């Protein structure tokens, strides 16, 4: 047991090689510890002569709460200068990354702690800042600096996937016009791990990212999953020419749901001359229409039939709804040949002139992507992982109320959905 008062104090403060100069304990305010490095006079890094102490700048840092109270650390630093006036070294300040990384408003231990809270547990920056009794920016800067090191300095994090997926995500609305800012997520579809996020949803950034991997890494990818986007198709055509392209079922079904929605809104407008209102039968049917048929109760079926009879005089919404269910059926087939025939039939039947315009458009898209849609039955890469990653990212965005800066979004998404090796957190150096 340590009984020497100085030793006890240093043990409680828990920082290596520091002298505790004092503690300020004002009621209602954070407890403030004053410390300095226990350092000997250094030599000049340039010429090796003695250094002189120039002055003692103080830095105020946010530390971890101490015995239930917010805490601050005042680090009384040493600014040294070379004793040789002609030496180009000038002056420098003593640093110790174990106390705090340079230009950081948090101590090192607080920085690592907030990274876990926000990055791993998905808490909001505001909430964690509240725990520490400090500002939002101090916490956010630390999460991004430590987080960037954790996701970018670990060469093993990306691993060697055999199935790779590209998927667009809206990460922010920017400026006075709330312009949509898009990004592309790159997913290991086998493991359901977010590998990276790049800016934009055209082909340039995903291609550049893939070009940054080794040829061997690209060669091992056998399956390339995508939504029905021609830019991602061109990424794979160019960068992964031997991988089999697979249309993600999640997106195919979502497109079919959008088709029902569009048909409903058009018919709504044509029959009533206005957009959906609460009492309109078609508007009231919108949830039931995009629900999977087998999940609708007997009552629900009856209600849907009634609403469509009231609001869909030519049966166009019903046809679109039926088309959606037919598209969903693609994935109920387990035999690749049967599925291929099914997709072929869709491409033909949906384009029939008797079909509503939205269904014909869906039919043309399915025809254009038939190979990729059918490939799913060979690949059997599940759509679960893409959806799982999407859900994780949605959570990150909800917690953060949208992101202003792409870099923040990328790091936060990777910390939460990119399965970083948290064991490395203790050893990384913040960026």
Q: Interface with Zn ion by CB under 5 A: which residues?
A: 44, 46-47, 82, 87, 89
Residue where the block lists tokens 């680090």: 75
How far is residue 252 from each of residues 120, 331, 337, 351, measured CA to CA in Å? 31, 10, 19, 17
- 42 vs 306 by CB, closer to Zn ion: 42
Minimum distance, C-beta of residue 102 to Zn ion, in the bound complex (Å): 21
- 59 vs 89 by CB, closer to Zn ion: 89
Which residues neighbour 416 within 8 Å (Cβ) at sequence distance 6 or greater? 119, 120, 122, 392, 393, 395, 396
Minimum distance, C-beta of residue 59 to Zn ion, in the bound complex (Å): 24
Polymer length of the chain:
431
**3 state DSSP class of 117:** helix
Strand 58-66 versus strand 69-76 pairing type:
antiparallel
Sign of CA dihedral 251, 257, 261, 262: positive
Q: Computed over its alpha carbons, how large is the radius of gyration of the chain?
A: 30
Cβ–Cβ under 8 Å, residues 118 and 143: yes
Residue 368 buriedness (CB in 10 A; 0-12 / 13-18 / 19+): middle
Q: Among 101, 116, 155, which Cα is nearest to 431's? A: 101
Residue 2 tokens read as 């340590």
Minimum distance, C-beta of residue 41 to Zn ion, in the bound complex (Å): 13
- 44 vs 104 by CB, closer to Zn ion: 44
- 82 vs 100 by CB, closer to Zn ion: 82
- 2 vs 50 by CB, closer to Zn ion: 50
Minimum distance, C-beta of residue 46 to Zn ion, in the bound complex (Å): 4
Residue 5: φ, ψ to 5°: -55, -40
Minimum distance, C-beta of residue 91 to Zn ion, in the bound complex (Å): 10
Cβ–Cβ under 8 Å, residues 34 and 15: no
The span from the first CA to the last CA of the chain, in angstroms, equals 39
Minimum distance, C-beta of residue 95 to Zn ion, in the bound complex (Å): 18
- 23 vs 89 by CB, closer to Zn ion: 89
| 322/319 Cα distance (integer angstroms) | 5
- 47 vs 59 by CB, closer to Zn ion: 47
Residue where the block lists tokens 């800012």: 181
Q: Among 350, 355, 358, which Cα is nearest to 261's? A: 358
Minimum distance, C-beta of residue 62 to Zn ion, in the bound complex (Å): 34
- 90 vs 97 by CB, closer to Zn ion: 90
Cβ–Cβ under 8 Å, residues 138 and 166: no
């Amino acid at each position: 047991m340590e009984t020497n008062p100085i030793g006890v104090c240093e043990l409680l403060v828990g920082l290596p090689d520091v002298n505790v100069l004092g503690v300020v304990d004002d009621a209602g305010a954070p407890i403030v510890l004053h410390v300095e490095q226990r350092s000997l006079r250094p030599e000049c890094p340039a010429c090796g002569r003695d250094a002189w102490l120039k002055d003692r700048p103080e830095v105020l840092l946010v530390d971890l709460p101490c015995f239930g109270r917010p805490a601050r650390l005042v680090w009384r630093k040493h600014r040294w200068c070379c004793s040789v006036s002609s030496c180009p070294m000038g002056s420098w300040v003593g640093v110790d990354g174990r106390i705090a990384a340079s230009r950081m408003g948090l101590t090192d231990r607080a920085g690592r702690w907030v990274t876990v809270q926000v990055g791993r547990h998905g808490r909001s920056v505001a909430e964690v800042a509240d725990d520490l009794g400090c500002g939002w920016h101090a916490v956010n800067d630390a999460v991004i600096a430590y987080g960037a090191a954790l996701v970018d300095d670990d060469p093993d994090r990306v691993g060697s996937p055999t199935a790779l997926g590209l998927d667009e995500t809206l990460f922010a609305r920017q400026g006075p016009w709330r312009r949509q800012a898009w990004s592309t997520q790159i997913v290991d579809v086998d493991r359901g791990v977010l590998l990276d996020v790049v800016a934009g949803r055209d082909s340039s950034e995903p291609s550049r990212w893939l070009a940054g991997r080794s040829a061997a890494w690209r060669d091992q990818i056998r399956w390339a999953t995508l939504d029905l986007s021609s830019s991602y198709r061109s990424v794979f055509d160019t960068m992964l020419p031997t991988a089999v392209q697979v249309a993600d079922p999640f997106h195919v079904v979502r497109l079919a749901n959008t088709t029902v929605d569009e048909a409903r809104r058009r018919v709504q407008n044509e029959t009533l001359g206005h957009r959906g209102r609460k009492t309109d039968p078609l508007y009231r049917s919108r949830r039931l229409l995009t629900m999977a048929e087998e999940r609708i109760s007997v009552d629900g079926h009856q209600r849907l039939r009634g609403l469509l009879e009231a609001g869909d005089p030519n049966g166009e919404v019903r046809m679109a709804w039926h088309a959606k269910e037919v598209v969903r059926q693609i994935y109920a087939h387990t035999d690749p040949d049967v599925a291929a025939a099914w997709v072929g039939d869709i491409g033909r039947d949906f384009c029939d002139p008797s079909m509503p315009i939205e269904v014909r458009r869906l039919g043309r898209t399915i025809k254009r992507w038939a190979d990729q849609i059918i490939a799913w039955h060979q690949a059997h890469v599940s759509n679960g992982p893409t959806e799982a990653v999407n859900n994780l990212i949605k959570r990150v965005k909800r917690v953060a109320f949208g992101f202003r800066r792409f870099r923040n979004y990328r790091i936060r998404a990777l910390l939460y959905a990119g399965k970083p090796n948290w064991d490395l957190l203790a050893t990384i150096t913040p960026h």
